[in-house]
Amino acid sequence: MDLRALIREIPDFPKPGILFRDITTLLQNQAGLKYTIDILAEKCADLAPDYIVGMESRGFIFGTPLAYKMGVGFIPVRKPGKLPAAVHSIEYQLEYGTDCLEIHQDALQGGCRILVVDDLIATGGTANATARLIQQTGCELVGFAFVIELKELQGRSHLPDVPIVTLVEY
């Protein structure tokens, strides 16, 4: 299946000069969504994760059904103040300023195998921060899975040396 045909391109969003890759058109296509989850599960099977960790918010969209398909649990990584129990936090640099991600302290037990999932890898900042957050839990990062990779931004060069699965490259 040609996933590129299901991903809408929106020029000048969210600001002039940006070509936004919109996954909502992929999500609304039943066959495309099923194919995406099925192929991610197939490509990630050998990584044998115990949990899928997905970043807010599009990582939830792909991570939860992938966890279901692979028969493992799903753990959300959220922006500050969204999780109700004690959290591990990580602050990371953005192009202009900083941001923060959090995970429940009791979500993962040390030694678990973790696969990080998101819709897209661009510069790799959020994925790298999530990897560092997972280190705080004492778990093993076994890989990353992304539906889209923007190769020109070289985000994978900022990630730990683990397998990286992508389905569509631009």
Give the chain's domain count: 1
Q: Is 95 a catalytic residue?
A: yes
Instruction: Determine the pLDDT at residue 94.
Output: 79
Instruction: Determine the pLDDT at residue 96.
Output: 75
Confirm whether 23 is domain-assigned.
Answer: no
Instruction: Give the CATH number, domain containing residue 137.
Output: 3.40.50.2020
Q: What is the mean pLDDT of residues 36-41?
A: 98
Q: Is 94 exposed, middle or buried (0-12, 13-18, 19+ CB in 10 A)?
A: exposed
Confirm whether 5 is domain-assigned.
Answer: no
147: pLDDT confidence band, cut at 50, 70 and 90?
very high
> What does the alpha-carbon distance between residue 131 and residue 119 come to, in Å, rounded to a whole number?
16
Q: Which strand (E) or helix (H) includes residue 97?
A: strand 97-104
93: pLDDT confidence band, cut at 50, 70 and 90?
confident
Confirm whether 146 is domain-assigned.
Answer: yes
- Domain carrying residue 148: 47-169
Of 58, 113, 132, 156, the active-site residue reads 58
Q: Is 113 a catalytic residue?
A: no
Confirm whether 4 is domain-assigned.
Answer: no
Confirm whether 24 is domain-assigned.
Answer: no
- φ, ψ (nearest 5 deg) of residue 81: 80, 5
Kindly tell me if the per-residue pLDDT of 95 is higher than 90.
no
Three-state SS string across 19-67, please?
EEEECHHHHCCHHHHHHHHHHHHHHHHHHCCCEEEEECCHHHHHHHHHH
Evaluate the CA torsion angle 73, 77, 80, 86 in order and state its sign: positive
Confirm whether 64 is domain-assigned.
Answer: yes
Q: What is the mean pLDDT of residues 53-67?
A: 97
Query: What pTM did the predictor assign?
Result: 0.96
Mean pLDDT (the chain) is 96
Q: What is the mean pLDDT of residues 76-101?
A: 93
